Chains A and B, each alone.
Chain A
Amino acid sequence: MNLRVASEIARGRALLRLQGELDLASVPEAETALMRLEHDPNTATIVLDLRRLAFMDSTGLRFVLAADARAHSTDRRLVIVRGPHSVHRVFHLARLEDRLEFADSADAIGGTDA
């Protein structure tokens, strides 16, 4: 497994940091970690930090889309911290830049303004 997952919850903001490769083999691991964060009812914002992600395929994209749909249905905000070019290209080709919320850094995202 070439994915490392780190998570933290602070000031109503849940942060999931993904490092390595997000693909068919590693998506379940990311999914488990994210669902654990979603379980906390006090998190108004969920941040997916993809800056250290080296690779993402269509199953990774599916994971992000599902997370976004769940966030919407629970009145949460999902913010994606943009990954490197090869990762962001997947969002670009899927024309999702206008449909998902992207940020350049996790620190810039407020925790309580959801």
Chain B
Amino acid sequence: MTFVWAESGRRYSHGDLALAEDLARRASVAIENARLFQLEHEARLRERDARARLQVLVETGTAMSASFEVSGILRALTGGASRLICDYSIAFLLGSDGGIADAFGAHRDAARYGVVERMARAHLPDVDSPDSLAAQVIRTGEPILIPRVPPEQLERVMAPGEQLELARELGFASVIVVPIIARGRTFGAFALVRDDPWPPFTEDDLSFAITIATRAAITLDNARLYAERESMSETLQRSLLPPEFPDVPGIDIAARYLPVSEGGAHVGGDFYDVFEADPDYWIGVIGDVVGKGPEAAAMMGLARYTIRTAALAEGRPSRILETLNQAFLRQTKEHRFCTACCIRIRRSGYGARMTVSAGGHPLPVLLHEDGTMDVVGTPGTILGVFEDPVLTDHAIDLVAGDALVLYTDGVTDERRGDEEFGETRFTDVLRTLGSGSAREIADGLLEAVVGFRTGDPRDDIAILVLKVTA
């Protein structure tokens, strides 16, 4: 601290010095206090800022997780960032061909969302472009922070014409571009832009951008895995259904299958199969695994292949179902049961002999050409629950014109409001179909059930018809 007498010729005294020292001390305390206050104020601002960032991160994460659509996830990302740390942001999405396929934008000012997206989509950069910051980040995986964008760089980065004009209108003073990458998979790039009078982006802002973009990438990757799993279970299910039936002389075979679908692909638990087990006979089966989804699909696979394998060693349907019961007891979780109806088909001099066994499954119906019918067999124990199921074989002889109709409970359980399709309607419909071919019977039954219901289907529907033609 220095004191100068400007006008008078007065000299400093010892008393002045003491006063000066005292003033200097007081001033230094005041300055120190002010500095501390400033530090504390800054710390408090930083803390508030950090809390706000955390809040936005949490909210954006939640919004992204709520969506399984790529566009929904990227809109949550741009919307979240533009609420807090930039004027506007753009997410560039890589397509399956490795090029930049789309862009999603958001602005702090909701009214300017459209302008941001129009600017970004006016010219999607080529992923090999040396000038595009998004392309560079996608290629290298390295984030970019440009605190002050030189005007000439803006002209290089933006395509001339509409894009450049809109970019100038929106402003482009400071920019961050980070990769949208997780688990080694790059989904695109995320650009955040500030215009004056905001201060330039800092390293702190860059780490926040990386955090939020990584979060988006993980959500995108989860959505991708989910979609893959769904399509896998659909594929698995298709592979579990026989693409075509074997040629059984004198017997016309048709099947109809209507799986329940919830929110896109969804796998139910019905299955059926017809195959040649021996030069002398064929095995037909229809069944229902309790539950839905990929686990049920795996159980269907277990059921179908167990039956195919068991049929090589044992021709009696009840014994085949006993093997299936054992397989389910040993290999599935508690109470993961299934129901099945198994038939052995042999040609005979007058038509066919069919031996029927049911385990917890609706009994098949023998439909005569004149529309009369009989329920075949006796109920057997549900499969996969008890060590000692009661399963019986029941043989019937079919002549030309007779059909055996097998179905799953989705047929009779179908509902219209509080009313059930039920056994009575089932019988009434079949009565009108006696003279039809296997395909006509299966179609007629399915149409009646689907026409009956009003709401969404509640269960898979499977129908298998074997009609003796000669």
Contact = CB atoms under 8 A, between A and B. Distances in A.
Chain A CB within 10 Å, residue with most, of B288, B334, B335, B423:
B335
B290 interface: yes
Interface string B406-437: 00010001010010101100000000000000
A62 interface: yes
Interface of B: 288, 290-292, 334-335, 337, 339, 358, 360-363, 379-382, 385-386, 389-390, 409, 413, 415, 418, 420, 422-423, 458-459
Contacts of A57: 409, 413, 458-459
Given A57-B413, A58-B288, 9 more contacts: A58-B290, A86-B420, A90-B409, A92-B379, A93-B358, A93-B362, A93-B379, A94-B382, A96-B382
14 contacts: A57-B458, A58-B288, A59-B291, A61-B382, A62-B290, A66-B335, A86-B420, A92-B379, A93-B339, A93-B379, A94-B339, A94-B360, A94-B382, A99-B381
Contact of B379 (A55, A65, A94): A94
A69 B360 contact: no
Chain B CB within 10 Å, residue with most, of A58, A89, A96, A99:
A58
A95 B339 CA distance: 11
Interface of A: 23-24, 54-55, 57-59, 61-62, 65-66, 69, 86, 89-90, 92-96, 99
B91 to A, nearest CB: 37
Contacts of B339: 58, 93-94
Contact of B409 (A58, A96, A99): A58
B420 A95 contact: no
Nearest to B338: A58
Nearest to B415: A55
A55 B337 contact: no
A89 B422 CA distance: 11
Contacts of A62: 290-291, 335, 337
A25 to B, nearest CB: 9
Chain B CB within 10 Å, residue with most, of A59, A61, A69:
A61
Contacts of B334: 66, 69
A89 B339 CA distance: 14
Is the contact region of chain B dominated by helix, strand, or loop, or is it mixed?
loop
Contacts of B292: 24
A54 B418 contact: yes
B391 to A, nearest CB: 9
A65 B422 CA distance: 24
Nearest to A93: B379
A62 B382 CA distance: 11
A94 B459 CA distance: 18
A90 B288 CA distance: 13
A93 B360 contact: yes
Nearest to A96: B382
Chain B CB within 10 Å, residue with most, of A24, A66, A69:
A24
Chain B CB within 10 Å, residue with most, of A54, A61, A90, A95:
A95
Closest 6 CB pairs of A and B: A94-B382, A94-B360, A58-B290, A95-B381, A95-B379, A66-B335
Contacts of B288: 58
A82 to B, nearest CB: 16
B469 to A, nearest CB: 30
Nearest to A66: B335
A35 B430 CA distance: 43
B420 A59 contact: no
B260 to A, nearest CB: 10
A99 B420 contact: no
A65 B339 CA distance: 14
Nearest to B361: A93
B321 to A, nearest CB: 12
